[in-house]
Structure 1
C-alpha cells in the first residue's frame, strides 16, 4: 500500500543526516527528509566571493569523493558546457593555478574550478531559462540606474529618523535599536544579539513557545557553557556531565537554522511592539523598518522575510508617509531636520524593485522543473544544486512539496563580497574559450 511504498523509498534513499560537510568548508543550515527517493544538496552560492567560491569547490569535491556525486545543477548557466576539454592539455598543478586565478578575477565559479582543476567525471548542468534569466538581469541593470540617487535619499531619511529617536523612543527601545545596529554592522555576533532579544522577551513576559528555534539555540548555548568537551571526548566526564551533553546534543539536533533566521524578524517585531508605549513610537518603528528594508532592496541584499514584509505592508513604503511624519516631528521637537524633497525617486524605483524580485521568483520555479527533468533524464537520485541564498526559502519549499530530501549548505565566508565585481560578472555571457596552448 501507499505507506509501505513510502517506507521502501525512505529505506533506500540516501539519508540527509548521513552527509557530512567539513566545518572548515561550510555549515549545514537545514535538512529535510522527503518521500520521492531523491536527495538535493543545495549549496548557497557566494557570488563572486573568492573564499566562498573556493569553499564551495571543496564541498563539491568532498561530495564527489565520499558520496559519488556526479550531477551539479547550476544557477546562471544554460547548458552543460564545461572545461573538461582543457584537462588533457595541462598538468594538474597548472590547471589548479589557472582555475584559481580565474575564480579570483570573477570569470568562473567554484563549480567551474572543480571542473577545470580536477579529474572528477561529473556534469555541470545549467538550469536557467535564457529569456527569463536575461529579463531578470536586465531588470537589475534598470534598477541600477536609480539605485544611487534612491540610496542617497534613503540614507538622508535614515539620518533624520535616527535624529528624532532619542526624543521619541523609550530607553528600552533605544537599547534595542542600538543592539540591532551593532548586530547589522557585525560589532556584536549573532549569538550575543539573539541572547539579548531572548532575554528582553523573557523580561517582558513575551510567550516564547512560538519561537522554538530561539529556545533551542539559547538552551544549547547555556548547556555548552556548563560542559567540558575535552572530558566528554576523552571519556573522563561524570554521569551528570554526560547527561548535560546529551541534552546539548538534543537541543542542537532540534535547531533548524533556516527557521531560526525566519524567527528573528518576527521576534524583533513582537519585542518592539511590546516595548512601544505610544503612537509616535510605533509609527517611527514602522518608518525605520521600511527605510532599512528599502536600503537592502536597493543593494539586492534583502532576506525573504524582509521582502515579504515589503509586499504585505505597502502603505508603510510610501515616501510621503515617511516625509510627513518626520517633518511633523521635526517641527514639534524644534529640530531643523534636512528632509529631502525628491521622494518621487522612491516611487519610480519601487516598481522596478518588484519586477526584479518577481522575475527571481519565476526563475525558482524553473530551477525546480529543470532539476526534476535532469535527474529523471539522467537516471540519478542525488545531485547538488547551486543557487544564491536569497532563493533558498522558496526553493526549499518547492523541493519539499515535490517530495525531495534536501540539505542546505552555506559555504564558509569571512570576507566581504566585491559588489562591483559581482555586477561585472553578471554582464558576462561566458568566459572566452580557453585553449591549452594559450594558457
Structure 2
C-alpha cells in the first residue's frame, strides 16, 4: 500500500514536472527575451544614483550566458568528441604553454600583422607602429590594445616619449566615466595624449603604462630638431626656389612621355587619383614598356586583386554561400555542423579572417564531394580575399616606387633627363629630412648618397643663386644626427623591456626596421602590427607640439598655468617639465575645453565661478585665486567669441591632480554637474537638471507607449551584430543544438551588445527591436508548440 502510494506520488510529481516545465519554460523564455532586454536598456540609458541594479542585472546575464554555454555547448562538444574520436577536440584558438606567436590574430578592421619572429623563448613583444598625433591612428591603437588585453591578457604598455612610471590620476579622479571619456578624447584630438594613454585613462587598473625612453637621448633628439627651427623659413624658401627651377626645366628637357608620367605621378601625390587608379595606370605603362611587373610581387598581387574585383558578382557570391550552407546542413554530421557554427560565430565576432572563414567552408564542401565549379563567384571571392590578405602593404609602396624609377629610366634618353629625374627625387628627400618625415628606406638612400645632397649639386644644374647655401649643408648634417640619435633610442627601447614577459610597445614607424632588428639580435619574440586608420586628417598638431608652438589659449595658460610638451605630462617625472616656476597648487590643474549642451549655460557657470572667486579675493589676497580668475575670464571671452565652440556646444572642465588640488568646474547638460571647486572646496552652487523625462515621441516607438517608463535617452544609437548573425545561428542551431544553446547564444547577444557596446555596425532602437524580437518570437513559438504537444501527449 505504502509502495503504491509512493508510486502514485512519484507519478504525480512526474506529471506536474512535465506540465509545469511545458508551461513555465515558455513563460521564462518570454520574460528573458521580451522583458529583460528593456530592463537592461532602461538601466543602461537612465541616470541611476546607485550602480546596484545595473551590477545585479549584469551578473544575472553573465550567469545565464556562462551556465548555458558551459552546460550545453562546451560539455556537449566534449562528450560528442570523446564518443566519436576518443579525445576532446581542441578549440581553434587554444594555445598551450603561453602565447603561440604563429596563431596570434587581429581582425582586419583593427590592423595587419606585418612581421612575426619566434625566438622560442618566453615572453612576447607586440610592436605597434604609431602615426604621432593622428587622431584616427590613436583610436585604432587603443582598440588594438583592447584586443590584446581581452584576448591574450597582455597588460603592460611601453610608450615612446616617456621614461619611468605614469600617473593617470589627473584623469582617473574624474569619477563620471562619460565626462572622463570626453576630456580624454579632447586631449587625444589635440595630441596631448596618445592611444596608449587614452586606453589606460578609460580603463584604469586594466593596464600598466611605462616609458621606454632614455631621458638624455630623448632630450638630445628633441633639441636637435628645435634648434633647426630657427632656420626653417630660410630652408623652405631656398628649397622651394630650387623645386620651382626644376619644374621649369622639366618643360624644356622632359620628353612627351616623361611629362605625361610626371603629371600622373603628381596627380597621385596630390590625391587627385586613388591608389587603385594609379596602380592600374602604372601597370598599363609598364606593359607598354615591356617591364616585367611579376618581379614586384605585391604590386603584381594588387593588380590581380583589382582585376578580380571587377569580375566578381558579390551579390551572387553571397547567394552561393547561402546555397552552400543549405547543402552542407544536410550532408555534414552534428559535430561538423557545430564546428561550422563555431567558425561562423568567430567570423562574425572577428576572431578569424574572411579568407580563413571561406577557406574553411570550401574545404568542408570538398570533403563531402560538392562540386565547387557550381560556385564560381564564391571561389573567385576566396581567391580575391586570399590575394588581398597576402599583400604586404608596407613593401607594396616600396615596389611602387621601384616601378616608378624603372619607368623613368625607360623613358630617359639623355643625360640631362636622367640628372633632372634624380635631382627631383633628391630635393624631395632633402625636404623630408628637415621635416623629419624620412622613411627608413629614404634614410638609407640619403646616407649612401650623402654627397649628392650638397646644395651646389642642385644649383650647378638649375643656375639658381642660393643664399646661405653653406648653412643648408650644415643643417643637413645636424639633421643626420637627429636620425642617428633616433637609432640610439631604439637600443634604449630594447633595454627598458621586461625580459620573459609579454608586453606592447608603441613607436613611430621610422623606428620599426631598426628596432625589430635589435629584437631579433637580442632573441626576443615579437609581432609587428600596422594599425588600420585614416591617414589623412585636416589637422595634425604633431609638429606644432614638437616645436613647442601653442594656440592662443595655450599661450595664455603657459604664462598663467603651465605648458605641455609632446613628452607625456602623465609621467611622474616628465621628460619636459615647464611647471617648476609656477604655484604648485595651480600647476596641479590641467585645463581642457570640451563639449556641453549649450554655450549660454557654460558662460553662466563660469560667471558664477568668477563672482564667487572675486568675493573670496576681497576677503583675503590670494595669488592662486588671481590666476584662476584670469584663466576663467580668458576662457569666457573665447567662448563668447565662438573660438572654443565644438560640435554639440562647449564643455569646460579642469582636471585636478591626485592630491585633489586645482580648479574644477563642469558644465555638462547630459552628465552630472559637479559644481566649481578650488582645492576641493565648493565655490558655487550648480542647479542639477532633472534626470527623469519621458521618452521623446518616435524615438523608441511602441515600447515607450506600452511601458511609459520615465526615461532620458542619453544614447540614441546602439551597436549590434548584423541580422545575418542571428539568422546564421538559428539556421544551423535550431535543428541540432537544443533550446539551452539557443538561450546561450541569445544571452551572449544581449550581454555583448547591451553592456559592452562595441565599435561596429551602428543602428537605432527600432532596428534593435526588429533584429532581436523576430528570431526570438520564432524560437519561442516553435518551442512552445513542441513542448505543449509533448506535455499533452
Query: Could you say whether these structures have the same fold, taking a TM-score greater than 0.5 normalized by the shorter chain as the test?
Result: yes
SS of the residue 1:143 aligns to: helix
Quote the Cα distance in structure 2 between the aligned partners of 1:30 and 1:116.
28
Whether contact under 8 Å (2:127, 2:505) holds in the other structure is yes
Query: In structure 2, do the counterparts of structure 1 residues 29 and 228 end up closer, same or farther at CA, with 3 Å as the change threshold?
Result: farther
Match of 2:531 among 401, 410, 415: 410
Whether contact under 8 Å (2:129, 2:530) holds in the other structure is yes
**Equivalent residue, structure 1, for 2:657:** 435
* 1:14 matched to 2:140: no
User: How many aligned positions are there?
Assistant: 413
Quote the Cα distance in structure 2 between the aligned partners of 1:399 and 1:203.
44
Superposition CA RMSD, Å:
2.6
Quote the Cα distance in structure 1 between the aligned partners of 2:154 and 2:318.
32
The two structures have a TM-score, normalised by structure 2, of: 0.49
Quote the Cα distance in structure 1 between the aligned partners of 2:309 and 2:227.
49
The two structures have a TM-score, normalised by structure 1, of: 0.86
1:17-416 → structure 2 map (5 Å cutoff): 18-21=104-107, 23=109, 26-28=110-112, 30-36=114-120, 38-83=123-168, 87=172, 90-234=175-319, 235=321, 238-327=374-463, 339-371=465-497, 374=498, 376=499, 379-381=500-502, 383-401=503-521, 402-413=523-534, 414-416=536-538
Query: In structure 2, do the counterparts of structure 1 residues 393 and 70 end up closer, same or farther at CA, with 3 Å as the change threshold?
Result: same
Query: In structure 2, do the counterparts of structure 1 residues 429 and 216 end up closer, same or farther at CA, with 3 Å as the change threshold?
Result: closer
Query: In structure 2, do the counterparts of structure 1 residues 400 and 227 end up closer, same or farther at CA, with 3 Å as the change threshold?
Result: farther
Query: Once the 2 structures are TM-superposed, how far is the Cα of residue 409 of structure 1 from its aligned partner?
Result: 2.0
Query: In structure 2, do the counterparts of structure 1 residues 400 and 232 end up closer, same or farther at CA, with 3 Å as the change threshold?
Result: farther
Quote the Cα distance in structure 2 between the aligned partners of 1:204 and 1:49.
39
Quote the Cα distance in structure 1 between the aligned partners of 2:124 and 2:267.
38
Whether contact under 8 Å (1:265, 1:305) holds in the other structure is no
Query: In structure 2, do the counterparts of structure 1 residues 428 and 133 end up closer, same or farther at CA, with 3 Å as the change threshold?
Result: closer
Query: Once the 2 structures are TM-superposed, how far is the Cα of residue 160 of structure 1 from its aligned partner?
Result: 0.5
Quote the Cα distance in structure 1 between the aligned partners of 2:316 and 2:244.
52
| Superimposed CA distance per residue, residues 46-88 of structure 1 (whole angstroms, 9 cap, x where no aligned partner) | 2223333233223322322233220111111101223158536
Query: Once the 2 structures are TM-superposed, how far is the Cα of residue 165 of structure 1 from its aligned partner?
Result: 0.2
Quote the Cα distance in structure 2 between the aligned partners of 1:325 and 1:11.
64
| Superimposed CA distance per residue, residues 217-273 of structure 1 (whole angstroms, 9 cap, x where no aligned partner) | 111121122123333344168522233223223322331112222323222222211
Larger radius of gyration: 2
| Superimposed CA distance per residue, residues 264-302 of structure 1 (whole angstroms, 9 cap, x where no aligned partner) | 322222221121111000010111111111111111112
**Equivalent residue, structure 2, for 1:332:** none
Query: Once the 2 structures are TM-superposed, how far is the Cα of residue 360 of structure 1 from its aligned partner?
Result: 0.8
Higher relative contact order (CA 8 A, sep 6+): 1
SS of the residue 1:206 aligns to: coil
Query: In structure 2, do the counterparts of structure 1 residues 10 and 366 end up closer, same or farther at CA, with 3 Å as the change threshold?
Result: farther
SS of the residue 1:20 aligns to: coil
Quote the Cα distance in structure 2 between the aligned partners of 1:10 and 1:261.
37
Quote the Cα distance in structure 2 between the aligned partners of 1:159 and 1:96.
47
Quote the Cα distance in structure 2 between the aligned partners of 1:216 and 1:229.
20
Whether contact under 8 Å (2:129, 2:528) holds in the other structure is no
SS of the residue 1:43 aligns to: strand
Quote the Cα distance in structure 1 between the aligned partners of 2:176 and 2:195.
19
SS of the residue 2:139 aligns to: helix
Query: In structure 2, do the counterparts of structure 1 residues 30 and 275 end up closer, same or farther at CA, with 3 Å as the change threshold?
Result: same
Quote the Cα distance in structure 1 between the aligned partners of 2:409 and 2:178.
59
Quote the Cα distance in structure 1 between the aligned partners of 2:183 and 2:100.
35
Quote the Cα distance in structure 2 between the aligned partners of 1:219 and 1:22.
20
The range that moved more, 275-284 or 388-397, is: 388-397
Query: In structure 2, do the counterparts of structure 1 residues 10 and 389 end up closer, same or farther at CA, with 3 Å as the change threshold?
Result: farther
Whether contact under 8 Å (2:140, 2:531) holds in the other structure is no
SS of the residue 2:162 aligns to: coil
Query: Once the 2 structures are TM-superposed, how far is the Cα of residue 116 of structure 1 from its aligned partner?
Result: 1.5
Quote the Cα distance in structure 1 between the aligned partners of 2:454 and 2:460.
10
SS of the residue 2:290 aligns to: coil
Query: In structure 2, do the counterparts of structure 1 residues 260 and 76 end up closer, same or farther at CA, with 3 Å as the change threshold?
Result: same
Query: In structure 2, do the counterparts of structure 1 residues 194 and 369 end up closer, same or farther at CA, with 3 Å as the change threshold?
Result: farther
